[in-house]
Structure 1
């Protein structure tokens, strides 16, 4: 459940967590304890395991409403985009998937994107950015930037509207923030109407909640964060460079944002801190805090996910409504 005061201490205690959410979390820990580590079996094997639905997340369901196109990225690299759109879009949602910059794919969220299309009237465009460790920083951010540039130039012709929003989950939240900053600083574009930033990782130097989470096998442990970051940033990069950790950037000129986070997520501080910096920079922002929500909770069954997803859809619809 959300609160008008996201900093109400009662939201963060065990008493605020519903019986249903506790059962979901207990089931996740039981399911994941003892499962293989992606860095031991290899990223390719882990990706195929996820595609088969073996692990925390169900196997993807592919939409018959989706179509794929390719655009040209940096150095002539072809970037696939997956599009699910209504007949007459009210706007466009540039979606960037999660997976720790290592896992995930642009076609593994079709049901979520179909829901967003239905509830907001937006066309959804999901980016198949290249993944680490085969393609470490800055490749993934470069691909997302190229997708955003393409949309700015082509959305009106492709979809009949140039009202743009952006967002994603986990690594996708991070890459969405990086993309917004690159579009402002490299292209002079600040026209996105809204940013849907869902349990994003905004400080690659590790926030206190990342460091303190420990080894509970609740989707994302401290060790997982360290391994993902090492795969994405293997070359001694400054992990608090604003292009890597957007929480350290100047955040003026950013669009209205919705930050969504659960209190049992190792990335909790990232959203709490980024929300306050977003506001302090003079931007509009909302913060949805969900008691007991684990990392990735919006994809799990239960009322907590239903409420969070409804809030995201409503935010995106409002953002376009302001255009």
Structure 2
């Protein structure tokens, strides 16, 4: 059955805390040179140190890193978090954001720790190859390989009785591509839920991206163009269904939660993808946060806390649904 649950109302007065946060972010970024004026590795290192707009790294002390064998002997790093109570109910496969150029799994430890403990899911966050050193299809290939390894029981002995997939920004894009690749290349639909946060689903740019303009509120219009130029080879059509999932056939996708803020330049990507997900006969919830900037959950705010809680609630509902449909799974995944 097709269903849609819009979980956040457009409040007339908006969110004052997020408006203050947006003003601080915009002022900070306006006072700094564009990231594109520096070498890529300089920006990556500054990001690790918290010298940019995002908070610095706060690694989870209980996370562990594993290397997943890839093609030609290459290793794919994967960061693993287990629920603190040791009662694993399944696994959440996560892909980080960063425009396919920046970012790494460890950046998301605090948020992923909260999700792991709130859902009882182990988390496997993939450090896929980044552009421009490794343009499309390298990153999606790594994500596909990690998904296959998880499904086949070859990823750190992680539980597979319930499987979720998701990520933020470029990570949401890679999640959608991975689901499509599993369906089309492997005739598989192993994931029970998708958590898609502020994804870029049309690399040729939706109207909200094109019209956002020069203000850098995390990202601006030019930033998306710069990311796409580094990620997509010149001979590849950015509207191709193999790279822009908005243009793909979407039948057979799992129930999904789409989350975005109204001050996110990727707003249309989420609204359009949610509509197409439903039109293809899938189930989908939509959560739109008034005044939320791009991946506002990264920053401390009440709205960000509520958003992460909504993601956990969505995953818990899907776990309960799967468990109810299979008593033997229920016996394995029921919390103590």
Please indicate, yes or no, whether the TM-score normalized by the shorter chain is above 0.5.
yes
Normalised by the length of structure 1, the TM-score is 0.94
Residue 270 of structure 2 is matched in structure 1 by 271
| Contact 1:199-1:261 within 8 A present in 2 as well | yes
Give SS of 2:124's match: strand
Name which of structure 1's ranges 179-188 and 159-168 shifts more when overlaid on structure 2: 159-168
Aligned mates of 2:257, 2:94 — CA distance in 1: 14
Matches within 5 A, 1:59-98: 59-86=56-83, 87-98=86-97
Task: Give the drift of 1:307.
Answer: 1.2
Aligned mates of 2:295, 2:111 — CA distance in 1: 13
| Contact 1:88-1:159 within 8 A present in 2 as well | no
Aligned mates of 1:300, 1:213 — CA distance in 2: 21
Alignment deviations for residues 61-105 of structure 1 (CA, whole Å, 9 cap, x no partner) = 011110111112233321011000122310100000000000000
Task: Give the drift of 1:234.
Answer: 3.1
Aligned mates of 1:304, 1:52 — CA distance in 2: 25
Task: Give the drift of 1:193.
Answer: 0.5
Give SS of 1:107's match: helix
| Contact 1:196-1:257 within 8 A present in 2 as well | yes
Aligned mates of 2:179, 2:260 — CA distance in 1: 20
**Aligned-pair RMSD on alpha carbons?**
1.7
Alignment deviations for residues 141-166 of structure 1 (CA, whole Å, 9 cap, x no partner) = 00000000000011698134332100
Normalised by the length of structure 2, the TM-score is 0.91
Aligned mates of 1:48, 1:58 — CA distance in 2: 13
Residue 117 of structure 1 is matched in structure 2 by 116
Residue 29 of structure 2 is matched in structure 1 by 32
Name which of structure 1's ranges 102-111 and 153-162 shifts more when overlaid on structure 2: 153-162
| Contact 1:152-1:162 within 8 A present in 2 as well | no
Name which of structure 1's ranges 264-273 and 70-79 shifts more when overlaid on structure 2: 70-79
Matches within 5 A, 1:193-232: 193-232=192-231
Structure 1 residue 239 corresponds to structure 2 residue 238: yes
Alignment deviations for residues 112-137 of structure 1 (CA, whole Å, 9 cap, x no partner) = 11101110000000001010011100
Structure 1 stretches lacking a partner, 5+ long: none
Change (3 A) 1:131 1:160: closer
Alignment deviations for residues 244-277 of structure 1 (CA, whole Å, 9 cap, x no partner) = 1001110000000000010000000000000000
Task: Give the drift of 1:6.
Answer: 6.8
Change (3 A) 1:64 1:251: same
Residue 317 of structure 1 is matched in structure 2 by 316
| Contact 1:101-1:232 within 8 A present in 2 as well | yes
Count of aligned pairs between the two proteins = 317
Structure 2 stretches lacking a partner, 5+ long: 323-336
